[in-house]
Structure 1
Amino acid sequence: MDNKAYAEGLAKLREVRDEIRPLERQLAKIQGELTKLATRRDQKIVELGEFEKAKADRIATSAGVSVIDVVALAPSLGPQGTARAPVEAASADSTIVDRTGPQAAAQAIKEPAGAPAPALRPAAQPTAADDEQQTDTSEDQELPAAAGAAATAAPSPTTALTSATPTVAPGGEQERTLPSIPEGAAGDRWIYAEPNLTSKRPNFKQATRQMAFLDTATGVLVWQAGAVTLDLGRASVAEILTAVYATVPADVERIYITAGDPWHQNAGRHQFLKDAVAEWLNGPLPEGWQVESSRGKDRQAGHLVHPRNPVGRWQRGKDQHTEIRSVGEWFDPAGADPATARAAFVELWKALRRHWDDVVLMGSPSQTGRDLWSRTIPAKAGAKWADGYPVMSQEIRGLLHATAGQGRTELITPPRVPERVPGWYEADRTFAYAKHTWTSGVGVPQRVTAAAFAAMSEKEQADALFSPSHWQVRVTIPRDWDHVGLLPAPAPGERAWHYPYEGGRTFVTWAGGAEVNLALRNPLQPWRIEILDGLVWEKGDPLKDWSNKLKDAWRSLRAVAEVHGDERQRQAARLASRAVRSILLYGIGTFAQRPRITTGSLELGAGGEVPEIPDGARLTGLTDTHVTWERNGGFARDPYAHPEWAAGVWSAARAALLSGPTGTKDPATGKPARAGALHLPAGSILAFRTDAIYSSVRPEWPYSGEPGDYLLKGAMAWEQTTPTTDEEFYVLQALGRQALEAEEQ
């Protein structure tokens, strides 16, 4: 670059600056007006809340906020009735609005004394009663009880929860405060099932949607009737819809993108991928097409702006509907062409058809998983739970949402580990979540306070800790502890978790029964656990039949992938087996029923004016042509909301990542051989990623191909620089997998 080019560049930069400034002023003005209006709204809510006949649900509807937000501003609208008092029946449109029952007001509480958990037999020396627990205790896309709590409030992510004594991490940052169940009768009122809301077996069959598979990089389109190569231009929405529907019939309602990722074509112009995706989804449409506004009972409307697997929904006229989705929701196509991707879906349907006569592959694995599960609910008259599985109160669901994380993600860096390590090894648990679905909590839970736990016999305490449960606990790490952390604790940042490991440290957290048991019975040294509060469910197996059928389909597809004579069919079967894994993994995730987040976009006015966004929404992006918005819809009255099941599976999977049985017997003891991070040397663990452990020493664990077994997926038996960032970690992950593949050839 010479002086002239530099000067021209500066001039162009000033032009961009001058274009940005008026938009920044406009956005600041909008944000200022929005803040003023929000303040006026909150003041009005407070005024209306003083009216003796005021109802939180009616105010929430009029204000465009959640019931929890209203109660936070007007605590007098919180629950005042007796324990387990019935709440007002849902209105006719309850499927699209939050439950209108009142919520407990936020309150700071003091830290009471905890009830020490009993000493349990170490996992390395199991009792007969313990064998079943080891087989399973609770695994795409995120602990014994304790007596001292932080603040209590209706546990919604939209409600600010405060603590009388905030916890400060060793690094000096203040950790998030987890919610608690209110003391006394106020907390007892949380312990009920939602009235007239149960998970029942459906009495209808899902409608079948025709699919097409498109590689936008090559233009190859495959559907039931054949295959063609299209000219897609730049693969905009308009070009795809025009080219595809000039070729296939209108009853093809799903277009799966197998390669090309057209929604990322302008990623270089945006700071975040979601903005590039939103721009692509909101691009110009062919004449007669529009963004889908409403659909039938089993359909959804509007776009899903996801950075890697978005969903676009459009319609032409009243009768033609279509979705453009990523096949990456189901599996990584790993270079498979559209014909092979379609063959994978055919193999998937055939494998599931052996167990479900009415199977229909829906748009996503999560939708498919939940639908298949619903068809395993007992239906025979007189069978237990034939009337349906009850849905927990909104308060309990909110508590679990706020206090039950998902997979463990942790990068362990120097000085906890050396700056140079002798090797790099990745051990990944095969189909891990399927290992932890044999038992789950059912019915309305029993609340076990610190006082109630202390009053139990030691056997009753052990029984409670071995039951499906979720505990608030005060944890004290042994002073001479030198291995990884065992229990999750809230870290700074929304929904963030870390795993304290410092000897002598005490902290308060929530954890599932599987992790509490692990902390008490780990093979190295028991941790001190004090029970503060907890929820204990009756043992049941609502996921067992569903999971067993999916595991059978997974095994049959893996067998086909090993022995089929045609390479395309082998690859299709491999992809289909990965799709089965996604059905179970994301199906479990749907039980968690997070608050509904609705996204949308609106076109800017002719002069660049920002249009009015829906009530309760916030701006999330601004492009040259559109604004995008997001709104938290709170917890819906979903008949399939069972976060207690998802939390139990996740807790057990995290515990098994540290120590758990394999599918192979230990010849010395005759018991299942155990594997996990605690069975590797202290200081050798470099990272955790949901189902995988990364270490500096090679794990020699038996592998039989069963769910939960550790498969070596990466290996470099030479000195490496320890990764300190996610970018460095993923480079080593890729190199380790390539090295192991070369070693095995």
Structure 2
Amino acid sequence: MDELNYRPKPWTPKDVPTIWVDQTTGQGVTDAGTPVRPVIGERRKNPNLTDLLDTAASYGANRIMLTGKRPEPAPGVRHWLYVQTPNWKPGAHWVNNGPPTGRFEHAVTGFKIEVRTAEEWFGDGPLTPAQARLAWNVTASIIRHADENARLFNSPAATGTNLWALSLPKNINPVPVEDDIAQEIHFTSGLHHYDHLVAGESFAKHEDCVPLIDPAKTKKISEFAYVDGRFMFAGVGRELGIGPAIRLNQAAAYELLEQDPYARARFHVRFRVPQGWNHVGLLGVKHLDVREGWFYPNRPGAVHDTWADGSEIHVALKHGWEIRPHEAVVFRKAKPLDTFTERMTRARERVQLQDEMHPDLRRAVLAALRNIMLHSIGAFAAAGRDETRVAASPDDVPPEYRAKMLRQGNLWIYRIPSRPNDRTRSFYHPELAAQVWGRARARVLHGPSSLGGYTSGALTVDPSTLIGIQGDAIYTTKLPAWSLPDRFIGGGDDGKTGRLRLQGYLNGSFITPETLRQRDALKARAERAGIAKALEQAEEKG
């Protein structure tokens, strides 16, 4: 019997007429670079949302890209999209679980406009509308260079998944995993390893989590190093497993662990933290209250059950953790993302090689490529985004959604759950996302560098210096030598994709960051300072 064709169908979208405007002043440029002058109502110095919609319509633009700091409300204040917009009917907004998107339709003409933020693409750098437009055009050119049929879509995720469809090797048919396995992966796989290892209000609220730094004893630190992965998801996305998946019982899972430690598989295990362990937790466990996320037990003797990728299990076994599998799910080894990740890596390299490009523009384009990579992987695990609707009266809310509607000022807000269609289903591959996420978490703990295998990562640093882990970032109170360029003694960064490398370094006297807010402030300072001081010290050491 012939296998069904599960290959996703790429397509080329039409260009969307757009104005790029500052979210505060409403001034900006059109696609062609023509200045945009906002249409501002009476008695207002700056435009409101209705003014911006009227302005876009006057320029024939179906999309508004807002630049400047994202206009997020303060806690307890309604969202900026939840306002009355005379003559404009609100459509299906996307507000939760990602950058906000507003959709509106003119009540008389039917003209449709989508409101998005440049930050979704280029990060929170201070770009003017003209700079954001230029960054968009350069990113579009880079993506088109990867494949002549590739274009920028409305979001980084849609752009990346479409490029993946264009890049999928002809000999690969990405058979989806069975529904029960897909649902299981969806609910048992986390994205990043988030851990703050300094005792205090930001430390994990679980008895099996032990801080590595006590700010009462270590009140100040003399160094702060910020290390993270270079285009990490592209670096760990090779030779993943695809469906159909096979579920293994306990005996078969044991056998797989012993005979093929690098199998493309997920394991449901019971683990025990070894006696004498004094380092970061290796395997994540969901809190009973899922709203609290994940915690990483590191108390010696702690026992928990969890699902983890084979790469994470490999790290735990390598460091003496007791692992007893309950079952496993194994995938077929293939190369579903290899061409896509190679194209994205080359795109990034092309940007870095353009010496004449302004540094601010380069940062913006690199941020866009990073967001395309990150959100594409995330999209594989997303069955869709819930729509947020706005109604003027509770009578306008469909009966099935009234139980959970919320009042915001004079408006009523309710959500419509996502409805998968044939196209979204063809891109739904949580098994791919889970493998990439698991490999990235494993590499942040213990991974390769130019010095050899298992020569970098959080587990190679003195635990008393480890402040925390944030995704593929590591924060320490002492500079890890392996994070330096490999031209220095002990340096392990050879510039390859997926390497952990130094991003910022501070030397001086700093209060030990007890809270995430304090840690983030040090990270921002370290980013601004760069790595010049660390390189200078390395030069002095020879």
- 1:38 is aligned to none
Please provide the CA RMSD for this pair. Answer: 2.6
CA distance in 1, matches of 2:166, 2:182: 23
Conservation of the 8 A alpha-carbon contact between 1:394 and 1:635: no
Cα distance between partner residues in 1 of 2:430 and 2:157: 15
Aligned residues: percent identity? 24
Listed as ranges, the matches of 1:444-523 within 5 Å are 444-454=244-254, 456=255, 460-494=256-290, 496-521=293-318
2:436 pairs with one of 638, 649, 666: 649
2:475 maps to a residue whose letter is Y
How do residues 358-397 of structure 1 correspond to structure 2 at under 5 angstroms?
A: 358-379=149-170, 384-385=171-172, 388-397=173-182
Q: Is the 8 A contact 2:245 2:331 kept in 1?
A: yes
1:531-542 superposed matches below 5 A: 531-542=325-336
| Map 1:110-125 → 2, pairs under 5 A | none
Residues of 1 paired with 2:473 and 2:30: CA distance? Answer: 37
**Structure 2 unaligned blocks of 5 or more:** 200-210, 483-491, 537-542
Find the counterpart in structure 2 of residue 291 from structure 1.
90
Contact 2:53 2:113 in 1 (8 A): no
What CA distance in whole angstroms lies between the structure 2 residues aligned with 1:283 and 1:657?
A: 46
Say if 1:464 and 1:536, in contact at 8 Å, map to a contact too: no
* Residue number in structure 2 paired with 1:259: 68
CA gap 1:253/1:463 in 2 versus in 1, 3 angstroms: farther
- Per-residue deviation, residues 285-337 of structure 1 (Å, max 9, x unmatched): 3x3x3234xxxxxxxxx111249831111223576322110011111252221
* Counterpart selection for 2:224 from 424, 435, 441: 424
**Cα deviation 1:311-364 (Å, max 9, x = unaligned):** 111223576322110011111252221111111111111112222111221111
CA offset at residue 512 of structure 1? 0.5
Q: Residues 449 and 421 of structure 1: is their aligned pair in 2 closer, same or farther, counting only changes over 3 Å?
A: farther
Q: Does 1:554 align with 2:351?
A: no
Matches within 5 A, 1:55-94: none
Offset of residue 733 of structure 1: 2.1
SS at match of 2:274: coil
For 2:27 and 2:80, the matched residues in 1 are separated by 22
Distance 2:193 2:309 in 1: 14
Quick one: which of 648, 658, 676 aligns to 2:445?
A: 658
Runs of 4+ in 1 over 6 A off after TM superposition: none
Q: Indicate conservation of the 8 Å contact 2:30/2:36, yes or no.
A: no
Q: Name the residue aligned to 1:583.
A: 372
How far apart are the structure 1 equivalents of 2:363 and 2:525? 23
Tell me the distance in 2 between the aligned counterparts of 1:307 and 1:644: 20
Instruction: Give the match's secondary structure for 2:157.
Output: helix
- Work out the CA distance in 2 between the residues paired with 1:486 and 1:587: 26
C-alpha deviation, 1:489, in angstroms: 1.0
| Cα separation, 1, equivalents of 2:12 and 2:420 | 26
Unaligned runs of 5+ in 1: 1-194, 293-301
Question: Is the 8 Å Cα contact of residues 258 and 327 (structure 1) preserved in structure 2?
Answer: yes
Counterparts in 2 of 1:319 and 1:543: CA distance versus 1, 3 Å: farther
- CA drift of 1:721 comes to 2.7
Alpha-carbon offset, residue 711 of structure 1: 2.8
- What is the CA–CA distance in structure 1 between the aligned matches of 2:37 and 2:194, rounded to whole Å? 42
In the TM superposition, 1:50-199 aligns within 5 A as 198-199=6-7
Partner amino acid for 2:76?
Q
Separation of aligned partners in 2, 1:741 and 1:618: 54
Secondary structure of 2:62's partner? Answer: strand
Distance 1:675 1:741, change over 3 A: closer
Q: TM-score, normalised by structure 1?
A: 0.63
The residue that corresponds to 2:202 in the other structure is none
Matched with 1:685 is 466
Alignment check: 8 A CA contact 1:553 1:577 kept: no
In 2, distance between residues paired with 1:651 and 1:407? 8
Structure 1 residue aligned with 2:117, among 326, 337, 344?
326
Q: Which residue of 1 aligns with 2:480?
A: 699
Look up the SS of the partner of 1:213 in the other structure.
Answer: strand
Q: Which moved more, 1:400-409 or 1:216-225?
A: 216-225
Q: What CA distance in whole angstroms lies between the structure 2 residues aligned with 1:226 and 1:395?
A: 51
Q: Tell me the number of residue pairs that the alignment of Structure 1 and Structure 2 aligns.
A: 500
* In structure 2, C-alpha distance between the alignment counterparts of 1:501 and 1:354, rounded to whole Å: 47
Larger radius of gyration: 1
Q: CA deviation at 1:649?
A: 0.2
Opposite residue 487 of structure 1, the aligned amino acid is L
Q: 1:726 to 1:260 in 2, by over 3 A?
A: closer
Secondary structure at the residue paired with 1:389?
A: coil
Q: Say which is worse superposed, 343-352 or 543-552, in terms of deviation.
A: 343-352
C-alpha distance in structure 2 between counterparts of 1:437 and 1:542, whole Å: 9
Counterpart residue identity of residue 660, structure 1: G
Matches within 5 A, 1:572-611: 572-594=361-383, 596-604=385-393, 611=396
Code of the aligned partner of 1:359: A
Aligned to 2:489: none
Query: Quick one: distance in 1 between partners of 2:421 and 2:297?
Result: 34
Residues 695, 452 of structure 1: alpha-carbon distance in 2 compared, 3 angstrom cutoff: same
**Measured at CA, do residues 679 and 730 of structure 1 come closer, stay the same or move farther in structure 2, by a change above 3 Å?**
same
Task: Tell me, yes or no, if the aligned pair for 1:468 and 1:536 is still in contact at 8 Å.
Answer: yes
